Chain A
Amino acid sequence: MQQSNKEVRKVIGHLKFSLFSPEMIRKLAVAKITVPDTYDDDGYPIDGGLVDLRLGVVDPGLRCKTCGGTVKNCPGHFGLIELVRPIVHVEFAKHLLYILKNTCYSCHKVLKKIDKKEDKEVKKEEIEQIDGVITPGEAILSPELSPEAAESPKPTINAADAVETLSKKRTSKKTTKVCSLCGAEVPEIKLLKPTTFMKDKDMLLPNDVRDWLAAITDHDLRELGFDPVYARPEWMIVTALPTPPVNVRPSITLETGERSEDDLTHKLVDVIRINQKLEANINAGAPQLIIEDLWELLQYHVTTYFDNETANIPPARHRSGRPLKTLAQRLKGKEGRFRYNLSGKRVNFSARTVISPDPRIRLDEVGVPERIAHELTIPLHVTEWNIDHCKSLIKAESYPRAVYIIRPDLRRLKVGDTDEVRNEQAENLKVGSTIERQLINGDIVLFNRQPSLHRISMMAHEVKVFPGRTFRLNPVTVSPYNADFDGDEMNLHVMQTEESQAEARYLAKVEKQLLSPRHGHAIIKPQEDHVSGLYFLTLDGSVFTKDEVSSMFYLIGRTELPKPDVAGGLYSGKLLFSTLLPDDTNLKVISKLGDEIVIKNGKLIKGAIESKAMEGELLEKMFVNHGPEFTREFIDSATVLALESVSLHGLSVSLKDYTVSPKGAVKINEIIDKMNREIDNLIMQYKNKSLERSPGMTLKETLEGLIVEITTKTRIDVGKIVESDLGRDNPSVIMAKIGARGSMLNAIQMSALVAQQTVRSKRITRGFKRRILPYFKEGALTGAEKGFVYSSFQKGLTPYEFMHHSMGGREALVNTAIRTARSGYMQRRLINALQDLVVYGDMSVRNADMSVVQFIYGGDGQDPMYSSTVEAVEGTKQDDIDTA
């Protein structure tokens, strides 16, 4: 590693939160802001105005009067508005209430509760404190007290919680109390939200509050849970209001040349204006009433400056009527500073485009369009071993070439356009420089599709540069990303350090993620046509000519053909499949079709491969026994063979494939007739009350339950007829049975009947009074009238059947919409609560504060990714783990 002239890397150890004292604010301020305006008529910043040049600059060309920097390098500086009367900071009103309620009005000492009733409550609270189990982390991380505070009393209750509960209490019972220290009567202090304090029936003005707070000793403050070194409560009353630097609230120039100020600037203008008016009135000796009105107005403006969504006060509005976005709104919520800019950051070296499938690239590759490969770069550190290579990259006229050179002095040079410049730059290249070269085949990149619900939503792929404009993706990798090719877009990130590239290659590479960490089963596996293809390939009697086998083997990179095993120089599909298997593969499973599949010593002896055998037994065991790379190669080869054989075999469906024979149709009609008779019978019993009521249900519910049972049974019976009628050679049936695509239900609905439609897992009931549609009679109960669809999709639905089907379909749509929102929020909460949990070297699971959550992860320290194949490895059983 080239460490030579890199700047020293600083690491933030910890941050301390505290309050600014007014003195500190005054010290920090570079300018006193006194003019409630921004620019003069010439468009130049007014001195003492809100965009005073001492606060920093936002316009190019101007220089900061404090640091002399330009827009680029001036960090901005705080200014100051000196408020003529103190103002309560809204957000701290609760804290102030807590202090005022717990200190004496006259002697400013902490009130000791002497009242008998109260005393009991305190004791109870204390006992709860002692008995309550202390969170392991609490002991270590309780707010640390400054050294001189060590001997002072620790607060008996959690002050932050006390603040919260106190502010939520509506009105406390009036209890006349007396201060145990000075004997003065304790007045009742109330907070009229948001910012007004009341002492009994009188208003407590902010300056009175401030004087009261200032008189509380450090010792007493510590007892209340505060740390007077960092946060004295009187600082929660604003006397000096800091104005943020201009680059925090930049004004934007519209196309018309008009300037438009930031919301914060607008709010500060309001504050200064009222502040000045208040000052003028005080100086002019205006009546107390007017002064108090203006004071309250100033309080309003300062309050909305901090939080424009404060309860019980109208939000300040922009001229257009839109509520202003003030400080709290900037930080809060999904689009706020924290979640939008701090927890999630924008990145360079990334690309996004539409994805399309390419079954001929390896599954760990990603096809990258040339235009993207030209744009994205990877830094290459120049060493004595690769300097020649680097020079050739700089000299190169076209792709792949170096785009930038970063010299050892960290100067960044663009690689020249002409040969002369480039040659000179190449000659001057020194060891210790870095060049940035374009993306080439074999580079490792991170590939991602949102929503990133699990870790396999982001995997490392190898780059393969292609013409075109889309990312190419092997279709077997769609399932971890949950992608399809109907216009989905995906993101690609190029890692910029060797360390991150190595981590990606060894930990995040696609082939390492074949098994899902959720359940340990294969998640990257042959799908759809691959499954059909493998089935046709390995079907009994499936043979291939030498030509066919040669082209297949060419595609998977094999140069040697096995010996023909079928008379006439033909190759059986089973033999071809067996060539992919390692010799130690042994397998015996009953397939989904009910046949036996036998693999002995790497030879497929019996049965045709379908999804169950493929993923469950073959892939997962292969992954554990032969490693990720081998398995990846197997999947790649197997899918290519599968696709070739499905192409040779042909797989398509026609209308005919869903037409039931007349004989079958008769049988189906018989079943339906029987169902209708049974339903009619039940309805009759229901109507003359001879139906026996099931326990815990009403008669109506009993009837509905029985009818639903009958309709389900009908569907199953019809299904059996359809299945035998269409036959096992029917492509749709094959696909459903081997787990390639679709289910028998799809075939049944297309060829025989769509069957019962439900809303909230019941027969449809809504619509008109006692009927679904005016087409039916009131109180209708028969199948058709309650959503049973007798038609098949092939035949077409009657208008009312269409209606019923749509009602069922609507429910499904609404449910998915609601579900995604709800489960998204649940997952956010889960991740947030558990993100700090890590397994340590001793197998214990600990939280960020090192508190132990589990002593041995999962009770056995096993990686869930291998949990389903674990028996194959160690002979341990899942049941051994203590779950009860």
Chain B
Amino acid sequence: MKSKKETVQVPPFEAVGVIAAQSIGEPGTQMTMRTFHYAGVAEHVPTGLPRLIEIVDAKKEPKKAIIDIYLKSAYSRSRTEAEKVAKEISSVFVSDVATVEDDLEKLLIHIAYDEKDAKPQGITFNMLKKAMEQFSENPKIDGTTITINPAKEKTKETKTKTKTKKDKEDKKSKFTAKQVRRLTSKIRGAIVRGVPGVFKAVVIKGDEYFIRAGGFNIIGALEHPAVDPKRIYTNNIQELERVYGIEAARNSIVRETKDVLDMQGLYVDIRHIMLISDAMTYCGKIKSIGRHGLSGEKVGVLGRAAFEETIKHLINACAFAEEEKLIGVTENIIVGQTVPVGTGKIKLVMKTKKK
């Protein structure tokens, strides 16, 4: 009789990988495809199956990145303090505080400061002017309107663009209307204040006040002195890995996966989720589950060929004289042998006495 403690331990050679995969995959059929709305920050944030697939794919950037910025205790207690920080972090675009119009006849761009929009955001005309410096060394200023003449400027933008082949065709005007248009939209998207790639910041009250925003620029956000570097979090796993390392990424895969499942009301044991995230990260970088990640780098030629890109794997195996050591599950199934998991790993033969 096994003791209860033994009962509760995983049996040796248990195929825990398959069980973990099944435990995550099986409830996939029950999940909804709905998207989630983070109040004010981002709409259509994938949850459920699409988000799970995103995590497992180890996407460079999630479809909708969210960053949670926690503040040092001096700022996290009052809403007004937190809101002040949020304002400073959240990026304000030129188009938010000014009307940008291009004059294609004269090839000019007019940027009109809009006090009604800018005042509540705390943007002054001087801040706008400063933001425009990257586009124009000495813009014409008329009251609250800045006018830029791109033809006169020698910014990087104009230098590179004039060299392209198309411009050679009409040498007369160095600047085409098309380029003015392009520059205009670039000006509209320029940042007047805030952290690039962090936008629509909203203060949320949990146990304390913290900031939730769209985007994932951790390093940018950390430059603000009020931000607590130990607790900042984003759903962009790759970014976390870049900034905080592989262990952080591993933990965030666990957290993100668990959040998705919890939100669907599906209960999956944490060990399964941990195993999947360890498998994705144990080699020191994030590998996706699929043909370009774990499956594509498996040791067995036959195993890889049986998954996807059959021909490519067989051809490469031949060209580089690879050896198939038959140590994986699929490989052994293919040649018709016992699979090296579970009871298949035990080689025990009872000797029968001969009379």
Contacts and interface: CB of A to CB of B under 8 A. Distances in A.
A92 B8 contact: no
Nearest to A17: B317
A827 to B, nearest CB: 3
A690 to B, nearest CB: 19
B115 to A, nearest CB: 20
Nearest to B336: A345
B164 interface: no
Interface in B25-76: 25-29, 31-35, 39-41, 49-50, 52-53, 56
A830 B56 contact: yes
A133 B285 contact: yes
A44 interface: no
Contacts of B12: 839-841
A640 B5 CA distance: 33
Nearest to A864: B269
Interface stretch (A331-339, A765-773, A784-792): A331-339
Interface stretch (A269-277, A413-421, A514-522, A532-540): A514-522
Interface string B315-332: 111111111111111100
B262 interface: no
A453 interface: yes
Contacts of B294: 833-834
Contacts of A867: 269, 271
Given A343-B333, A835-B21, A848-B327, A819 B29 contact: yes
B319 A226 contact: yes
A343 B303 CA distance: 9
The residue among A307, A831, A861 with the most chain B CB atoms within 10 A of its own CB is: A831
Nearest to A341: B334
A455 B19 contact: yes
A231 B317 CA distance: 10
Contact of A17 (B301, B336, B345): B301
A136 to B, nearest CB: 7
A161 to B, nearest CB: 10
Contacts of B316: 160, 163
A853 B279 contact: yes
A496 to B, nearest CB: 14
Interface stretch (A180-188, A362-370, A436-444, A691-699): A691-699
Contact of B320 (A133, A231, A339, A696): A231
Interface in A817-850: 818-820, 822-824, 826-827, 829-841, 843, 845, 848-849
A541 interface: no
Contacts of A624: 4, 7
B16 interface: yes
Interface size class of B (residues with CB under 8 A): 35 or more
Given A838-B15, A861-B9, A866-B7, A823 B28 contact: yes
The residue among A18, A92, A227 with the most chain B CB atoms within 10 A of its own CB is: A18
A17 B323 contact: yes
A48 B310 CA distance: 33
Contacts of B345: 838
Contacts of B282: 136, 851-854
Interface string B278-294: 11001111000111011
A261 to B, nearest CB: 24
Interface in B294-351: 294-295, 297-303, 305-307, 310-311, 314-330, 333-337, 340-343, 345, 350
Contacts of A236: 319
B28 to A, nearest CB: 3
Interface string B191-205: 000000000101000
Given A1-B352, A852-B282, A883-B274, A839 B311 contact: no
Contacts of B97: none
Contacts of B49: 819, 822-823, 826
Contacts of B244: none
The residue among A3, A818, A845, A861 with the most chain B CB atoms within 10 A of its own CB is: A845
B23 interface: yes
B328 A848 contact: yes
Contacts of B322: 16-17, 143
Interface stretch (A6-14, A352-360, A671-679): A6-14
A704 B118 CA distance: 28
B325 to A, nearest CB: 5
A338 B310 contact: yes
A761 B33 CA distance: 10
Contacts of B283: 133, 135-136, 851
Nearest to A228: B321
A695 B268 contact: no
A19 B299 contact: no
A835 B22 CA distance: 10
Contact of B200 (A307, A453, A696, A831): A696
Given A521-B267, A834-B18, A16 B284 contact: no
A137 interface: yes
The residue among A12, A15, A859 with the most chain B CB atoms within 10 A of its own CB is: A15
Nearest to A20: B318
Given A91-B311, A333-B310, A881 B270 contact: yes
Contacts of A848: 298-300, 327-329, 340
A859 B28 contact: no
Given A136-B283, A338-B334, A836-B329, A830 B324 contact: no
Contact of A819 (B10, B33, B297): B33
B21 A830 contact: yes
B260 interface: no
Contacts of B329: 835-836, 848
Interface string B226-262: 0000000000000000000000000100100000000
Nearest to B343: A503
A41 to B, nearest CB: 39
Given A826-B28, A840-B12, A862-B8, A834 B17 contact: yes
Contacts of B187: none
Interface in A514-572: 517-521
A831 B25 contact: yes
Contact of A857 (B10, B26, B321): B10
Contacts of A488: none
Interface in A278-303: none
Contacts of B297: 135
Given A453-B26, A826-B56, A14 B325 contact: yes
Nearest to A500: B343
A873 interface: yes
A485 interface: no
A815 interface: yes
A453 B307 CA distance: 18
A833 B290 contact: yes
A770 B310 CA distance: 51
The residue among A11, A91, A863, A866 with the most chain B CB atoms within 10 A of its own CB is: A863
B91 to A, nearest CB: 14
Contacts of B52: 826
B282 to A, nearest CB: 5
Given A827-B21, A858-B10, 7 more contacts: A12-B337, A236-B319, A507-B343, A833-B293, A840-B12, A848-B340, A852-B282
Top 7 A-B residue pairs of the complex, sorted by shortest distance between their CB atoms: A696-B40, A837-B17, A827-B25, A823-B28, A858-B271, A133-B284, A834-B17
29 contacts: A17-B318, A17-B323, A17-B324, A135-B297, A143-B320, A159-B320, A163-B319, A229-B321, A231-B320, A328-B311, A518-B272, A519-B269, A820-B29, A823-B31, A826-B52, A827-B22, A827-B24, A830-B276, A832-B303, A834-B294, A838-B340, A839-B14, A848-B328, A853-B282, A859-B274, A873-B4, A873-B5, A883-B251, A883-B254
Interface of A: 1, 3, 11-19, 91-92, 95, 133, 135-137, 141, 143-144, 159-160, 163, 225-227, 229-231, 236, 307, 328, 331-333, 336, 338-339, 342-343, 345, 453-455, 503, 507, 517-521, 624, 694-697, 760-761, 815, 818-820, 822-824, 826-827, 829-841, 843, 845, 848-849, 851-854, 857-859, 861-864, 866-867, 870, 873-874, 878, 881, 883-884
